[in-house]
Amino acid sequence: MSALPSIDIKADEIPPKTYSLGFLAAVAIGLQTVASLCYPIAKYGLETIEPFTFAFYRYVISSTVLLAIVKFKKYKTPVARKDYFRVILIGFLIIPFNQTLFLVGQSMTAAGHGAFLFATTPVFIFILALIHLKEKLVWRRAIGITLALAGVMTIMSSGAIEVSTHYLLGDMIIIVSVTAWAYYTILGKDLVRKYGALRMTAYALSAGSALYFPFGLYMALKYDYSQATLGAWGSVLYMALGLSVFVYVLWYWLLKYMDASRVAVYHNIQPVIATVVAYVFLGEVLTVPFIIGGLIVLAGVITSEV
């Protein structure tokens, strides 16, 4: 596979600020904390709102909010015409192929399956970053990613994963969604350095939402709204603002200052955070596989950062 077309980046457009690894790690952990809750929250909302209608309102809300924020900011560097295609392409990847397929797949499988399959994201991004971004092969990062994924598998072995053909189609759809997210990350890195995380997230989500809008509107008009609960609409709002706005903007922001493969390894702490939250707020028991797996995940993250 050849490298992706390069994007010219002027010297004054490269992020002038530098941040400590500790600060960037704290941002990444905060991002993953918010993201880790999306699996049970989305599953709850999808029990009463069908996936395509759920997606329609999520995209409308998130795109409107992001574009409103961008409208009130002033940018000295307009988006070059030659970059329009890539913006539309990452919008296509993030909306129809990542977000929509995630919701469809999550509605067809168990919540734990979605969390586990998305934990493979660092593997995809690590490989694609080597191929397309020409990132250096850092063996400690490869070992860290492998360790972290092994830790996630240990955590999921306590019952979150059920081997069954009943979930096979949903799991396969989520794998496609994961691949789309990996390419969204790789294709967007140079654009973010050139134009900023907020603007690129807003434009990408809006472009993808525009592509989805006709079909989504058709499904929304067909939907029987008497089925939806207030809690389900709260789920839509969380996915729109918590995930599509907060998490996605921070994800691209981190890519300005860290290698894609380094940012991606933090994906693996999601099951750890989700289980700890369940322990604190829901009184769920911390199992031995979780404790062992959680320590392995943390060891993997630390290994990739040292």
Delimit the domains of the chain by residue range. Answer: 48-305
Give CA–CA dist 126/259, Å, rounded.
9
Residue 210 neighbours by CB distance under 10 Å: 14
pLDDT value, residue 282: 54
pLDDT value, residue 13: 47
Res. 12: pLDDT tops 50: no
Question: What percentage of the chain reaches a pLDDT higher than 70?
Answer: 82
- Angle, nearest 10°, between helix axes 139-156 and 270-282? 40
Give CA–CA dist 109/95, Å, rounded.
20
Model pLDDT for residues 190-222, shown as the tens digit of each residue: 899 889 999 999 999 999 999 999 999 999 999
Model pLDDT for residues 126-174, shown as the tens digit of each residue: 888 888 888 787 777 788 777 777 777 776 665 555 555 677 788 788 8
pLDDT value, residue 165: 63
Model pLDDT for residues 23-78, shown as the tens digit of each residue: 988 999 889 888 888 877 887 888 899 989 999 999 999 999 999 999 888 787 88
pLDDT band with cut points at 50, 70 and 90 for residue 1: very low
Quote the tokens at residue 186.
Answer: 């790789």
C-alpha distances out from residue 30 to 131, 247, 269, 293, Å: 29, 9, 11, 20
pLDDT band with cut points at 50, 70 and 90 for residue 9: very low
- Sorted by sequence, the CB contacts under 8 Å of residue 267 that are 6+ apart come out as 32, 118, 119, 121, 122
Identity (one letter) of the amino acid at 284? E
pLDDT value, residue 7: 46
pTM of the model: 0.78
